[in-house]
Structure 1
């Protein structure tokens, strides 16, 4: 049996929502609604004298917004964002949502760059060595420059080197690393593969076979799936737009603090 409806809250013309109502409207189960309330995804429900929960439409909107955010950035980050959206100013909340869109756009851009690098590797493999571009030094990067370009730490690039995934050049007695154009291309592909959850052994196998047709096709398949996944996450975030806007607007209804 569902929880009984308590006395109306928020005005005589608005009946409170039961846990079952919120579950039905948000797409979560009753237990999930309670769990998400406990985790702080939604504000605590009002409690009647007999202990029953009473929810408002804002709770449903927050849960729907959470669903879209969780699909875009993962549940842990989504919980943190919802807390920021509920407690910050409108400017802060809007900025947080915009950052999610920017993050997805950045991930898509990196996947596309990895795809372009893959095409370049394939074209280079089909080009006679005497015809290959020998003026690649101007495109070389230091480990700091490449780590910034890929959005990873320098220690990550050193780890990839230890695992045989990306091989830089060394140009000084201090063993300073320099990555030429082929190494940069490979690093972009490695970064894309790792971001999809591929383990080191699988990435090593793909990288080792990039000069072969089967390696190129496998990398192409992974990158296509990566781009499709990013697109789905972006669409999910757009679908949550109305509810996110409601959460952001509600943040602006709180009195300003100084």
Structure 2
């Protein structure tokens, strides 16, 4: 038997946190002494250690989801949920890397257009970016781009700055970012906050590197918990 205060000290948390975990149903119910004090077993210790280890890398919401399954000994189901969660982090990492790639795009001068011109037609831009004119019109309708209009004939007139923005939009769409997210990002570009956006993206990558390490630590304790529960 293990006292709550000893577990709390070991994990650097309060005894009230242990009671919360029990109330949430993510650890098995504890036995009580005649005076009403809780008494925990080595199994409880394994649960508490696992919860604390998983929390950083996966979040308490996910912990609450899988711990009841552990108690039901549905280990394979838990592992697949863990696998899905890790895949989500990997997908987020790829998206963030794509954002950084977009923010560091080469100069639009390298796009195959006549460099002597100051503005370009929708057909010229569509051909250079290899997207249909209908896509450019759709992005305009969604508020992602707003080319000027030729005062004489009303035709769209794209500047080199428009082309820079379209390059970014095209890359983000290929990375399956939603129109809503792209719209917010484009606002940052319009406000000349590209440097800030790049820093946020790079900081996010650093944090994801930290998370994947914490997830590995959590999985070590999850394996230990599995072994403990299998004994019962």
TM-score where L is the length of structure 1: 0.62
**Does the 8 A contact of 2:26 with 2:68 survive in 1?**
yes
Q: How does 1:33-182 map to 2 (within 5 A)?
A: 33-120=18-105, 123-125=106-108, 127=110, 129-130=113-114, 134-137=128-131, 164=143, 166=144, 182=168
Tell me: CA distance 1:252–1:92, structure 2 relative to 1, closer, same or farther (3 Å).
Answer: farther
Report what 2:149 is aligned to: none
Report what 1:208 is aligned to: 190
Q: What is the distance in 2 between the residues matched to 1:68 and 1:35?
A: 16
**C-alpha deviation, 1:181, in angstroms:** 5.5
Choose the corresponding residue for 1:233, options 179, 194, 211. 211
Report what 1:243 is aligned to: 221
**Does the 8 A contact of 2:31 with 2:40 survive in 1?**
yes
**C-alpha deviation, 1:49, in angstroms:** 2.9
Choose the corresponding residue for 1:28, options 2, 8, 13. 13
Q: What is the distance in 2 between the residues matched to 1:48 and 1:85?
A: 26
Q: What is the distance in 1 between the residues matched to 2:169 and 2:75?
A: 44
Instruction: Give the root-mean-square deviation of aligned CA atoms.
Output: 3.4
User: Residue deviations 1:7-49, cap 9 Å, x none?
Assistant: xxxxxxxxx1111011112222111111121112222111223
Question: Greater RCO between the two (CA within 8 Å, min separation 6)?
Answer: 2
Q: Which runs of 5+ in 2 are unaligned?
A: 116-124, 147-165
Report what 2:162 is aligned to: none
Query: What is the aligned residue count?
Result: 194
**C-alpha deviation, 1:53, in angstroms:** 0.8
User: Residue deviations 1:129-169, cap 9 Å, x none?
Assistant: 5368715228x98xxxxxxxxxxxxxxxx9xx86x4x459x
**Does the 8 A contact of 2:22 with 2:29 survive in 1?**
yes
Q: What is the distance in 2 between the residues matched to 1:204 and 1:137?
A: 19
Choose the corresponding residue for 2:170, options 171, 179, 184. 184
TM-score where L is the length of structure 2: 0.68
Q: Which has the larger radius of gyration?
A: 2
**C-alpha deviation, 1:125, in angstroms:** 3.9
